[in-house]
């Protein structure tokens, strides 16, 4: 990350390259995951057409349940179908079209 870039500009640049989870971002920027999520919400609001944020939904590691209705940026704590707690967290990317 260069000094001239803000954290949000960095996040946008990374998500344009490919999808990342909040954990990936927190590692890349060296900030807590909670902060990465807070930045994500601002990034989502600040994007202008044709750029848009795509949220790849969380998936249960056990039964494959897809949390397709979920619009939040954080990972659910457990699967509503099988109660398993191993959930693949949501990933984010920016689509331009
Ligand atoms: Zn499940």
Please state the rounded mean pLDDT for residues 79-92: 95
CA 12 to ligand 1 centroid distance, Å: 31
35-54, pLDDT tens digit by residue? 998 999 889 989 998 999 99
Domain that holds residue 28: 7-96
pLDDT of residue 59: 95
The pair of three-digit structure tokens given for residue 53, joined into one six-digit string: 């944020």
On whether residue 25 sits in a domain, the answer given is yes
Rounded CA separation 28/20 (Å): 10
On whether residue 48 sits in a domain, the answer given is yes
Domain total of the chain: 1
On whether residue 2 sits in a domain, the answer given is no
Q: What is the pTM of this model?
A: 0.82
CA 92 to ligand 1 centroid distance, Å: 21
On whether residue 30 sits in a domain, the answer given is yes
Whether the pLDDT of residue 1 is over 80: the answer is no
CA 85 to ligand 1 centroid distance, Å: 8
CA 32 to ligand 1 centroid distance, Å: 27
Q: What pLDDT band is residue 74 in, cutting at 50, 70 and 90? A: confident
On whether residue 71 sits in a domain, the answer given is yes
């Amino acid at each position: 990350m260069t000094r001239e870039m803000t954290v949000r500009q960095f996040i946008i640049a990374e998500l344009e390259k490919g999808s990342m989870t909040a954990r990936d971002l927190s590692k890349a920027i060296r900030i807590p995951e909670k902060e990465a999520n807070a930045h994500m919400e601002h990034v989502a609001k600040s994007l202008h057409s044709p750029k848009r944020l795509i949220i790849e939904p969380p998936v249960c590691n056990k039964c494959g349940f897809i949390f397709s209705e979920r619009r939040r940026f954080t990972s659910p704590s457990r699967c509503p179908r099988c109660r398993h707690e191993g959930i693949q967290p949501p990933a984010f990317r920016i689509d331009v079209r």
